[in-house]
Structure 1
Amino acid sequence: MNAPHCHALYSVAQVRAMDRRAIEELGIPGYELMRRAAAAAFASLRRHWPQVQRIAVYCGPGNNGGDGYLLALLAHEAGLAVEAHALAEPTGKGDAASARAACERAGVPVHRWEETSSLPEADVHVDALYGTGLDRPPQPVAAALIERLNRSGKPTLALDVPSGLNADTGHCPGVAIRASLTVSFIASKRGLHTGQANAHTGRIELATLGLPESVWQEAPDARLLEAATLPPRPRDAHKGRNGHVLAVGGDHGTAGAIRLCGEAALRGGAGLVSVATRAEHLFALNAARPELMAHEVGGPQALAPLLERATVLAVGPGLGQGAWGHALWLTALDSPLPLVLDADGLNLLAAEPRRFDRARQVVLTPHPGEAARLLGCAVADIERDRFAAARSLARRFDAVAVLKGAGSLIADPHGRLDVCPWGNPGMASGGMGDLLTGVIAALLAQGCSARDAACLGVGLHARAGDHAARKGERGLIASDLLSPLRRLLNGLDA
């Protein structure tokens, strides 16, 4: 998305208010907005599929359907073979009805879509069924059409929102269009960028419809992260200025988790990284990564002197929930040091909840299962509204919360929320969370606030995953991210 406001994300209610403002305060007729939306979407269609000759447009009864009728009209005027299919008649005598009438007057065939109808031959299908107006599963006839479009093997252009996708939350309560391209109108809807949305939107483009800046009066509900890194180090830098991360974890059989965390902290720029772990892991850690200062820690007394030398804690990878892990967890949480809490560190927090001192820099990094345990609900509740879940986590624990997954969310206790636009399915493999914990801890150690460390760390981690996936997503492993992570942190890759 290269349009103004493309990093600002809004709720559906906010976008509807913008639409009303344009009509009522700026005097732009609703039909004119519909015409501009159709023109923008048709321009995108021609740009992405310049050889297209035949299109089919599927129109619902509301204004999204009106956008579709006017796009069909433009395609007809451009000499393309086009037909429209109406899921239902436009409601009332409003703009959508006017758009359909204009379409028919121009000679575009409009057919009533029935459950027994056959998909027409088309190079591109255009979804104009529901737009932002759906927060329930599609009706059976629409659901059957959506499933057939998804199986057609032909590209689909979604107008504003892929039908069936909740534009506020990114949740699909039923079947939803799997678009190749989504052209979103006026402002970016927050739900297009997280959770299930990532499997349905395809490429996203924003068309602001030539509206003046006065339309965007409200602060956005959330923002997309932008690519960023740390400034160059001063020429007289030394390791003491870049912090000392203490990674705590690695119970019996889980040396890999704490090693990944520690190595990510090193690659993330921490000046020193110590590892507090089981004695059985020391030889392997020293042999594989001698830059990590590995220490045998049998309990809280052995951890105390390491805490005195550390500036940041990373707690949880491979920690376990037994007596050993629990004792170290309690000791770490009682420390005033900045803290990143992950994995079993979060599961222990769910069992023994506590609010953190807001002055302490704390970052929690749960995946949806851990988030559900922390909030005392089902995973389905988390995924139904990831925005609400992330904000609830941040408020409940007075900490910055990173809700991981497709379109990771970063929320702080004040309600500010950022969305990560990078990452790929290859990153759904073991060890990725351990890596993220180490990266965020390293950024805290170098002086970032909890929110800045979380935003920058999530972004760097996801972008490194995308670089690593250039060799293929399947088979991607966590340690593949370490090399591109270092390059990105130093501004050597875009």
Structure 2
Amino acid sequence: MVTSVLPLTLYQANTVRVGERAAAKSVQVSMYTLMERAGAAVFECLKKMPCSVNSILICCGGGNNGGDGYIVACLAVAAGIDVEVWHLGDANQLTGDAARARDTWLAAKGLIGTPQTELPAGVDVVIDALLGTGLSGMVRDDASELINTINQAHKSVIAVDVPSGLCADTGRILGCAIQADSTVTFIGVKQGLVTGQAPNVVGKLFFAGLGVGEIFDDQQQASATSLTDEIIPALLSQRKRTAHKGDHGRVTCFGGNLGMAGAIRLAAEACLRTGSGLTAVVTQPDNVMSIVAARPEIMVQGWQEKAHEIRQQRDWSDVIVLGPGLGTNDWGKALYFHLADCEKKMVVDADGLNLLALSPDYKNNRIITPHPGEAARLLACNIAEIEADRFLAVQRLQQKYGGVAVLKGAGTLVFDGVCLTVCRAGNPGMATGGMGDVLSGIIGSLLGQNLSLSDAAMLGVFIHSKAADLCALEGERGMIASDLFPYIRQLVNSR
């Protein structure tokens, strides 16, 4: 059965390749039977396409991914659909189960053609069974030409297991990739399907366990897990009827240099909307009136580089959020270094991260929340290296800086040194100024409500992205960071 409800567990491609054999052996199912089930799963997805499907093109490659394509061809012909098959390379070179599937297609009087520069006239859907999970280097020229031909035709595309050209482990596009409308992945969800550049090419992701998915999960170690709605009631308990503001954390947000009052105000209000008992701001004196006028519940203090005032505020705080609108001039640097040795729980973002990159240290009381550009500065590399393997990047961040690392982006990653989680919520409407400041405030508030660093980071990331998805029901374009506040409040009260 094919489902859009995905398992929580994510795997590296090689784990699935090795583990599927062990799982099949456990239930005495042949690998060819799994291939037949995979083809049937893709065909089931094809039948559910919203468009009318009278004619399809199936593009097969070497290996089992091509074999899956030949199974789909047999099923489609039997259902009365017009089928054309193109094989990239020499179909006679197929071996094992893939060769058996090819021969089944030939026995059904099917034909095998070679790729052309244009798709056949009248094709409704293309099935991508070209490269699969075994791709390790850049896409070769012949495959690249076919991928570009398919993409330029603007037809509906279903990808088998992974879109051809996408790295199943990293989410990196290896030169070029099929732009699928749907992807049907098998047995275990490959981790590269949910982050990096994958959201641009995967389309709607479906899963088929092929009858061995649960056994596979029991036998194999996941590389990461996905965050879901269940995390909210699991980590946010019902408050006691006798609760008072001191029970829910005192959080101070430090930042807001000249011209950047909005950043620190967004962080502080997000903190309040997530349930902080008391929220304060330390900022440039010129910002005080505008923040108080907009949100009088925030306690705002202007700071002019008096060390004792920072010590007093630091001592008062349970949690510190450092960085939104901080700047890197003398005022920002002074504020940062007054807090750099603080032992209180901290969230460091924005210019706090840029200053941390200049003076790296390792602390276990801290959550860092970089976007790819900030991550590149923290790791002294370039953005392309970060995006080439986001899983590796977030682990390197945590290993270098300690605590918990959050690598923002499509498929935000959270790593605490042991567990790696992925947030599949979120949407392009979040690509606007102030969103990161809101995330910092959410996480700071959760730390103040006595969540661990790891739990606060995971829950904060999920609430932030889920709130944006609820907000996007009214449209992604034009969403601004403060639009999330009512949805944040709604989510932290959900059960």
State the TM-score, normalizing by the size of structure 2.
0.95
Amino acid aligned to 2:420: L
One of 462, 465, 477 as aligned partner of 1:459: 462
Q: Is the Cα–Cα contact under 8 Å of residues 169 and 385 in structure 1 kept in the other structure?
A: yes
Q: Is the Cα–Cα contact under 8 Å of residues 127 and 159 in structure 1 kept in the other structure?
A: yes
1:355 aligns with 2:368: no
1:270 aligns with 2:270: no
Q: What does residue 425 of structure 1 align with?
A: 428
Q: Is the Cα–Cα contact under 8 Å of residues 58 and 128 in structure 1 kept in the other structure?
A: yes
Cα separation, 1, equivalents of 2:465 and 2:6:
22
Cα separation, 1, equivalents of 2:290 and 2:462:
30
Structure 1, gaps ≥5 residues long: none
Cα separation, 2, equivalents of 1:212 and 1:370:
38
- CA gap of 1:220–1:208, structure 2 versus 1, over 3 A, is same
Q: What does residue 252 of structure 2 align with?
A: 246
Cα separation, 2, equivalents of 1:2 and 1:459:
22
Superposition pairs of residues 26-175 of structure 1, within 5 angstroms: 26-49=27-50, 51-90=52-91, 91-114=93-116, 116-175=117-176
Give the deviation of 1:477 after TM superposition.
Answer: 0.7
Stretch of structure 1 that moved more, 188-197 or 390-399: 390-399
Amino acid aligned to 1:74: L
Amino acid aligned to 2:441: G
Q: SS state of the match for residue 223, structure 1?
A: strand
Q: Is the Cα–Cα contact under 8 Å of residues 118 and 149 in structure 2 kept in the other structure?
A: no
Cα separation, 2, equivalents of 1:485 and 1:151:
40
Cα separation, 1, equivalents of 2:250 and 2:279:
6
Q: SS state of the match for residue 137, structure 1?
A: coil
Q: What does residue 190 of structure 1 align with?
A: 191
Give the deviation of 1:2 after TM superposition.
Answer: 5.0
Amino acid aligned to 1:372: A
Give the deviation of 1:141 after TM superposition.
Answer: 2.3
1:488 aligns with 2:491: yes
- CA gap of 1:471–1:278, structure 2 versus 1, over 3 A, is same
Cα separation, 2, equivalents of 1:263 and 1:484:
13
Cα separation, 1, equivalents of 2:16 and 2:293:
56
Cα separation, 1, equivalents of 2:332 and 2:44:
58
Give the deviation of 1:120 after TM superposition.
Answer: 4.2
State the TM-score, normalizing by the size of structure 1.
0.95
Superposition pairs of residues 328-407 of structure 1, within 5 angstroms: 328-356=335-363, 358=364, 360=365, 362-407=366-411
Stretch of structure 1 that moved more, 471-480 or 453-462: 471-480
Give the deviation of 1:21 after TM superposition.
Answer: 1.3
- Aligned positions, number: 487
Give the deviation of 1:294 after TM superposition.
Answer: 0.4
Q: SS state of the match for residue 308, structure 2?
A: helix
RMSD: 1.6
Output one character per residue of 1:417-455: Cα deviation in whole Å (capped at 9) or x when no partner: 000011111110100000000000000000110110011
Q: What does residue 319 of structure 2 align with?
A: 312
Give the deviation of 1:348 after TM superposition.
Answer: 0.6
Give the deviation of 1:50 after TM superposition.
Answer: 6.9
Q: Is the Cα–Cα contact under 8 Å of residues 132 and 160 in structure 1 kept in the other structure?
A: yes
Q: What does residue 232 of structure 1 align with?
A: 238
Give the deviation of 1:463 after TM superposition.
Answer: 0.7
Superposition pairs of residues 290-329 of structure 1, within 5 angstroms: 290-299=296-305, 300-329=307-336
Amino acid aligned to 1:191: G
Give the deviation of 1:49 after TM superposition.
Answer: 3.8
Q: Is the Cα–Cα contact under 8 Å of residues 56 and 120 in structure 1 kept in the other structure?
A: no
Cα separation, 2, equivalents of 1:407 and 1:92:
36
Cα separation, 1, equivalents of 2:79 and 2:269:
58
Stretch of structure 1 that moved more, 17-26 or 275-284: 17-26
Structure 2, gaps ≥5 residues long: none
Cα separation, 1, equivalents of 2:3 and 2:362:
40
Amino acid aligned to 1:394: Q
Stretch of structure 1 that moved more, 159-168 or 3-12: 3-12
Amino acid aligned to 2:438: L
Cα separation, 1, equivalents of 2:185 and 2:373:
31
Q: What does residue 468 of structure 1 align with?
A: 471
Amino acid aligned to 1:470: L
Q: Is the Cα–Cα contact under 8 Å of residues 244 and 272 in structure 1 kept in the other structure?
A: yes
Q: SS state of the match for residue 265, structure 1?
A: helix
Cα separation, 1, equivalents of 2:213 and 2:59:
30
Cα separation, 1, equivalents of 2:121 and 2:492:
50
Cα separation, 2, equivalents of 1:30 and 1:460:
41
Q: Is the Cα–Cα contact under 8 Å of residues 162 and 178 in structure 1 kept in the other structure?
A: yes
Q: Is the Cα–Cα contact under 8 Å of residues 390 and 411 in structure 1 kept in the other structure?
A: yes
Q: Is the Cα–Cα contact under 8 Å of residues 5 and 187 in structure 1 kept in the other structure?
A: no
Q: What does residue 205 of structure 1 align with?
A: 206
Give the deviation of 1:469 after TM superposition.
Answer: 1.2
